Amino acid sequence: MTSDQNEDHIPDAIEMPAPTYWPMILAFGITLLVAGLVTQVAVSVVGLLLLLLGAVGWFKEIFPMEKHELVPVLPESQRAQPIKVSSRSVARLQAGVASHRVRIPAQIHPYSSGIKGGLVGGIAMALVACLYGFIAHDSIWYPINLLAAVALPSMAMADLTQLKAFDGTSFIIALICHAAFSCLVGLLFAILLPMLPSRRAAFWGSFLSPILWSALVWATLGLINPTLNARINWIWFVASQIAFGMVTGYIIHHSKMVETMQTWPLAARAGLEARGVMYEKGGEK
Amino acid sequence: MAVQEVALARAPEMHPSIITRLHELVVTVDHKKLGLMYIAAALFFFTVAGSMAALMRLQLVVPNNDFISPQVFNRLFTMHGTAMVFLVGMPILAGLANYLVPLMIGARDMALPRLNAFGFWMFFFGGLLLYFSYLAGAGLSGMGSAPDVGWFAYSPLTARAFSPGMSTDYWILAILLGGIGSIVTAINLIATIFCMRCKGMTLMRMPMFVWLMLIVAGMILLAMPPLSAAQIMLLLDRFLGAMFFDTQAGGSAVLWQHFFWIFGHPEVYILIMPAFAVASEIIPVFSRKPIFGYPFMVAAAIMIGFISFGVWAHHMFTVGMSSIGNTFFAVTTMLVGVPTGIKIFNWLGTMYGGKIRFELPMLFCIGFLFQFLIAGLTGIMLAAAPFDWQLSDSTFVVAHFHFVLIGGLLYTIFAAIYYWYPKAIGRMLNKKLGLWHFWLFTIGFHLTFDTMHIPGFLGMPRRIYTYDAGRGWEVFNMISTIGVALQAAAVLCLVINLLWSARKGEKAGDDPWDAWTLEWATTSPPPAYNFEVLPKVRSRRPLWDIKHPEDPDWRYE
């Protein structure tokens, strides 16, 4: 709303649609028409007559021109008061000042690095898990079958011998679950990393994230995968998480960062492509 | 050449008689009067349907109770559900949209004012026809009175063999009439929003309320026709012996369920999106911050509208669909949680760091946020098909959707009443009575519906007339009924407040909340023409721009 609103000419009267009872008559007619189905045919006949009357009346109301009435504008004393400038000024939070917690990264890791890091980290994690299976149970298929039990009821009820044997369906399901989760966690990591203090990226990636993730899994695994929960070895689990975190963190941390729109001027963000608006190659405006 | 007929409106009388006032209401095409008529009629139906709920709770307060008969109980839960959805929820949203949308977009009226009046009268007569069944349902056939087939009227219960008499026909016809009213109102809203916006109000400068009403109108246009079609098919079954839903003659009872829920689940979002609309206007004003993530809020609302058409069969997990069907509808249902979560986070983001004023509208909105979150979480639980198999048709489901419709929708309707009543009436509602209303209702609501989850877990089915002692359900039913008494007392506080404040309340002025949208730029109540001069806007908060010339929004948008 612009402040010069009051300078526009205010008319003495304003044209508004004229009141009419035809819409009500028409609605009542339709109601009676259908009500006849549950009462008497005579009710429907009256309804039909009212419907026709209402339709014709309404038609006349708007053809050839709509009926209007002139509503006198209220005297100035009864009109809305002009909107006043507020005496209170605006205090805006600035990034970096005390108690302001926002961190808007000027540069971020590309999403592709998150997916790539997640996939490679997932391979590292799988290697550690399979190593555990080989050392503890003499079978690399053991951890794979346990993971598949999240979606396969047959594997959830399997005994140790079955868990140690190769199962094609289990392998495919475990592969899909593992790949999907690795990609998603890698993507999440890539998004989060620029918002964390950059000097400790190795710490975030290789230690804190696996610990937090392990804690979350520890709390919920009983619900998600009771079979895995009953047989899991937590030391090896944390080790595999750390392997994932270190590899993923390394790949993401060493990816080439890209600028976010935060660094762009307002006009560029609005989509204007004009000379001088965007920073061009070489750093010149 | 045709000459336009323009008569000078009669000067309003100082103290018009009742007849004059009634005549004005019958002939009015003014969006504000129609909006208030929608809201008044809906509040009337709300008290009737609420009283029905109270009667049901009284029946269930102790085991083996025979306060009312089983037949009356069946009619009560059918009429309660039907009225609350079709005669309270839908008309209230139509009323709010009617009153506020033209004001918020800087228009003088709706695009199609006569159609607007027609929509109201269709809804109103439809409602009267539904309740007329109590008087006439038994009159000619001698069987039954009001409808007793539940608000979703599953087949084959609605077949002539199981529902003799006319009661089910009353249900079909009344909803059919109301559906016509809803469709014309939706068309009118879409036409108004696309064609009547004032200068400078681009789509991305519209208030969130207007955006959400636009989406709701689009959803009504898509959701109502399947229901109307199914109702016409059912009429053909009952009157002409068609066999669409007659399983013994090659029809399908499940077909009715599909038709009904293709309407019914979007309907839940049609009801809850206006709640989002109200919260999106009130929370920023009382947090003294613009809404957080406006474009994402718009996108999330569109996503909700879109996804809501792909989740209907989660109401039908117990029918016995294929595992692919179950999985698809479980996943899409959980998917709705994503845009809804975005909205909740954005409302919290709006409040975060703001200068929050705990006025009554804000209190109800905070209640809404908390309760709607719980409703969403139990909804996600029910979206898991195996969980749903255990708890379908139990009181857990009843508690879940009452958290949606009371904890969510009704709380924001109360918030809207406290927020816009000063604009519509010109006087403030009493704060002390309002606080009594808020706290009594909140305590009562939680007593009733928190506890209602537990007997559901313990196996108590919904819609049972009575139950045996010793199943562990007694104490929860007792607490639930006590909660209803508190809610009734709270509603009484609101009614007294509405009536008392209309005459004795403190004068509101044009802009009592220091708000930012265009309805606060005109008088309270607004004149018939809304604005002497149609406004021009440059940002989403036009009044803010004038109040704060040193820091207007248009600099940043």
Binary contact (A93, B353; C-beta < 8 A): yes
Binary contact (B548, A31; C-beta < 8 A): no
Same domain? For A237 and A150 the reply is yes
Q: Which of B426, B414, B413 is nearest to B505 (CA)?
A: B426
Confidence of residue A199 (pLDDT cuts 50, 70, 90): low
Same domain? For A66 and A121 the reply is no
Interface test with A, best of B10, B125, B204, B239 (most A CBs within 10 A): B125
**CB < 8 Å to A223, chain B:** none
pLDDT tens digits, one per residue of A99-155: 555 566 778 889 999 999 999 999 999 999 999 999 998 999 999 988 887 777 777
Which amino acid is residue B265, in one-letter code? H
ipTM: 0.91
| Residue B353: burial class (beta carbons within 10 Å; 0-12, 13-18, 19+) | middle
For residue B536, how many other CB atoms are within 10 A of its CB? Answer: 16
Q: Which of B200, B344, B193, B224 is nearest to B283 (CA)?
A: B344
Whether B284 has a pLDDT exceeding 60, the answer reads yes
User: Which of A59-73, A213-227, B106-120, B233-247 shows the lowest mean pLDDT across its residues?
Assistant: A213-227
Q: Which of B167, B304, B309, B332 is nearest to B226 (CA)?
A: B309
What is residue B2's predicted lDDT score, i.e. its pLDDT?
44
Token duo for residue B508 = 């509101």
Confidence of residue A228 (pLDDT cuts 50, 70, 90): confident
Q: Which of B116, B95, B114 is nearest to B42 (CA)?
A: B95
Q: Which of B207, B379, B398 is nearest to B308 (CA)?
A: B379
Radius of gyration of chain A (CA): 35
Interface test with B, best of A26, A38, A86, A269 (most B CBs within 10 A): A38
**CB < 8 Å to B2, chain A:** 64-65
- In degrees, rounded to 5, the angle at the alpha carbon of residue B90 between the alpha carbons of residues B33 and B253 is 150
For residue A261, how many other CB atoms are within 10 A of its CB? Answer: 8
Percent of the residues in chain B that have a pLDDT greater than 70, as a whole number: 96
Answer whether residue A3 is part of any domain.
no
Q: Is the Cβ of A156 closer than 8 Å to some Cβ of chain B?
A: no
Token duo for residue A156 = 């959830």
Asked if B497 contacts B429 with a C-beta cutoff of 8 angstroms, the reply is: yes
Nearest chain B residue to A38, by CA: B166
Asked if B30 contacts B109 with a C-beta cutoff of 8 angstroms, the reply is: yes
Token duo for residue A254 = 């060493």
d(C-alpha B224, C-alpha B259), whole Å: 10
The secondary structure of chain B in percent helix, strand, coil, rounded to multiples of 5, reads: 70, 0, 30
Confidence of residue B503 (pLDDT cuts 50, 70, 90): very high
Which amino acid is residue A46, in one-letter code? V
Same domain? For A58 and A186 the reply is no
Query: In what helix (H) or strand (E) does residue B453 lie, and over which residues does it extend?
Result: helix B431-457
Helices (H) and strands (E) in chain A, counts: 12, 4
Interface test with A, best of B116, B121, B184 (most A CBs within 10 A): B121
User: Which of A236-245, A265-274, B253-262, B348-357 shows the lowest mean pLDDT across its residues?
Assistant: A265-274
Nearest chain B residue to A67, by CA: B5
What is residue A195's predicted lDDT score, i.e. its pLDDT?
73
Same domain? For A114 and A165 the reply is yes
What is residue A258's predicted lDDT score, i.e. its pLDDT?
85
Q: Average per-residue pLDDT in chain A?
A: 83
Token duo for residue B143 = 């069987």
d(C-alpha B512, C-alpha B536), whole Å: 22
Question: Looking at residue B394, what DSSP letter applies?
Answer: B
Burial pattern B44-58, b for ≥16 Cβ within 10 A else e, equals ebbebbbebbbbbbe
Confidence of residue B318 (pLDDT cuts 50, 70, 90): very high
DSSP string for residues in B235-295: HHHHHH---SS-GGGT--HHHHHHHHHHHHHHHHHHHHHHHHHHHHHHHHHHHTSPPTTHH
- Contacts for B63 with CB less than 8 Å, ≥ 6 apart: B466, B467, B468, B469, B470, B473, B474
Confidence of residue A273 (pLDDT cuts 50, 70, 90): low
d(C-alpha A115, C-alpha A248), whole Å: 9
| Residue A285: burial class (beta carbons within 10 Å; 0-12, 13-18, 19+) | exposed
Q: For the domain that residue A48 is a member of, what is the CATH number? A: 1.10.287
What is the SS3 assignment for A139? coil
Which residue has 């929860």 as its token pair? B476
Same domain? For A44 and A113 the reply is no
Token duo for residue B546 = 């004038």
Same domain? For A199 and A67 the reply is no
pLDDT tens digits, one per residue of A32-87: 999 999 888 999 999 999 999 999 999 999 988 889 999 999 998 889 988 889 88
Which amino acid is residue A108, in one-letter code? I
Confidence of residue B415 (pLDDT cuts 50, 70, 90): very high
**CB < 8 Å to A73, chain B:** 527, 529, 532
d(C-alpha B319, C-alpha B257), whole Å: 9
What is the SS3 assignment for B461? strand
Whether B33 has a pLDDT exceeding 80, the answer reads yes
Identify the sign of the CA torsion B440, B443, B449, B454.
Answer: negative
Q: Which of B435, B432, B487, B419 is nearest to B281 (CA)?
A: B419
Out of A17, A39, A64, closest to residue B140 by CB: A39
Strands A68-72 and B6-8: parallel
Q: Which of B446, B381, B458, B461 is nearest to B411 (CA)?
A: B446
List of domains in chain B: 25-551 (1.20.210.10)
Nearest chain A residue to B526, by CA: A80
Higher pLDDT, B144 or B311: B311
Structurally, chain A folds into a number of domains equal to 2
Chain A: closest CA distance from residue B483 (Å): 34
Nearest chain B residue to A15, by CA: B6
**CB < 8 Å to A14, chain B:** 108, 528-529, 532
Binary contact (B523, A79; C-beta < 8 A): yes
Binary contact (A30, B511; C-beta < 8 A): no
- Contacts for B323 with CB less than 8 Å, ≥ 6 apart: none
**CB < 8 Å to A24, chain B:** 26-27, 117-118, 121
Same domain? For A69 and A113 the reply is no
Q: What is the mean pLDDT of residues B375-384?
A: 91
Asked if A145 contacts A162 with a C-beta cutoff of 8 angstroms, the reply is: yes
Same domain? For A120 and A22 the reply is no
Q: Is the Cβ of A5 closer than 8 Å to some Cβ of chain B?
A: yes
CA B184 to mean position of chain CA atoms: 17
Chain A: closest CA distance from residue B67 (Å): 31
- The secondary structure of A227-264, three-state, reads HHHHHCCHHHHHHHHHHHHHHHHHHHHCCCCEECHHHC
Binary contact (A24, B26; C-beta < 8 A): yes
For residue A228, how many other CB atoms are within 10 A of its CB? Answer: 21
Please, where are the H alpha helices in B458-530?
Answer: 474-504
Q: Average per-residue pLDDT in chain B?
A: 92
Chain A: closest CA distance from residue B122 (Å): 5
Q: How far apart are the first and last CA of chain A?
A: 34
Q: What is the mean pLDDT of residues A227-239?
A: 85
Nearest chain A residue to B547, by CA: A85
User: Which of A89-103, A161-175, A247-261 shows the lowest mean pLDDT across its residues?
Assistant: A89-103
Answer whether residue A97 is part of any domain.
no
Binary contact (A16, B3; C-beta < 8 A): no
Partner residues linked to A55 by β-bridges:
none
How many CB pairs below 8 Å do chains A and B form together? 178
Out of B28, B121, B551, closest to residue A90 by CB: B551
What is residue B423's predicted lDDT score, i.e. its pLDDT?
97
Which residue has 């109360």 as its token pair? B414
Asked if B161 contacts B499 with a C-beta cutoff of 8 angstroms, the reply is: no
**CB < 8 Å to B114, chain A:** 17, 20, 22-23, 58, 61-62
Nearest chain A residue to B534, by CA: A5
Which residue has 């979002």 as its token pair? B269
Whether B133 has a pLDDT exceeding 60, the answer reads yes
Confidence of residue A281 (pLDDT cuts 50, 70, 90): very low
User: Which of A54-68, A206-220, A229-243 shows the lowest mean pLDDT across its residues?
Assistant: A206-220
Angle, to 10 degrees, between the axis of helix B31-60 and the axis of helix B18-27? 100
For residue B41, how many other CB atoms are within 10 A of its CB? Answer: 20
Answer whether residue A271 is part of any domain.
no
Answer whether residue A81 is part of any domain.
no
Q: Is the Cβ of A49 closer than 8 Å to some Cβ of chain B?
A: no
Whether A201 has a pLDDT exceeding 80, the answer reads no
Out of A14, A61, A85, closest to residue B547 by CB: A85
User: Which of A95-104, B199-208, B392-401, B534-543 shows the lowest mean pLDDT across its residues?
Assistant: A95-104
Question: Looking at residue A165, what DSSP letter applies?
Answer: S
Q: Is the Cβ of A13 closer than 8 Å to some Cβ of chain B?
A: yes
d(C-alpha A26, C-alpha B125), whole Å: 11
Q: How far apart are the first and last CA of chain B?
A: 47
Out of A5, A68, A71, closest to residue B4 by CB: A68
Binary contact (A65, B4; C-beta < 8 A): yes
Answer whether residue A4 is part of any domain.
no
What is residue B31's predicted lDDT score, i.e. its pLDDT?
97
Same domain? For A212 and A144 the reply is yes
Q: Is the Cβ of A64 closer than 8 Å to some Cβ of chain B?
A: yes
Binary contact (A93, B509; C-beta < 8 A): no
Whether A198 has a pLDDT exceeding 70, the answer reads no
Q: What is the mean pLDDT of residues B30-44?
A: 96
Chain B: closest CA distance from residue A191 (Å): 17
What is residue A277's predicted lDDT score, i.e. its pLDDT?
54
Chain B: closest CA distance from residue A138 (Å): 36
What is residue A23's predicted lDDT score, i.e. its pLDDT?
96
What is residue B161's predicted lDDT score, i.e. its pLDDT?
87
Whether B543 has a pLDDT exceeding 70, the answer reads yes
Nearest chain B residue to A101, by CA: B353
| Residue B320: burial class (beta carbons within 10 Å; 0-12, 13-18, 19+) | exposed
Answer whether residue A1 is part of any domain.
no
Whether A280 has a pLDDT exceeding 60, the answer reads no
Whether B547 has a pLDDT exceeding 50, the answer reads yes
What is residue A97's predicted lDDT score, i.e. its pLDDT?
62
Give the domain extent around A199. Answer: 107-254
Q: Is the Cβ of A70 closer than 8 Å to some Cβ of chain B?
A: yes
CA atoms within 13 A on the CB side of B483: 21
Q: Is the Cβ of A61 closer than 8 Å to some Cβ of chain B?
A: yes
pLDDT tens digits, one per residue of B56-73: 999 999 999 999 999 999
**CB < 8 Å to B137, chain A:** 38
Same domain? For A164 and A250 the reply is yes
Answer whether residue A35 is part of any domain.
yes
Interface of A with B in 83-112 (CB under 8 A): 83-86, 89-90, 92-93
**CB < 8 Å to B8, chain A:** 13, 69-70, 72
Confidence of residue B93 (pLDDT cuts 50, 70, 90): very high
Q: What is the mean pLDDT of residues B522-550?
A: 94
Answer whether residue A93 is part of any domain.
no
Same domain? For A162 and A208 the reply is yes
Confidence of residue B114 (pLDDT cuts 50, 70, 90): very high
Q: Which of B362, B420, B368 is nearest to B35 (CA)?
A: B420
Q: What is the four-CA torsion angle of A92, A94, A97, A98, rounded to 10 degrees?
A: 50
Token duo for residue A33 = 């028409």
Query: In what helix (H) or strand (E) does residue B8 lie, and over which residues does it extend?
Result: strand B6-8
Same domain? For A70 and A117 the reply is no
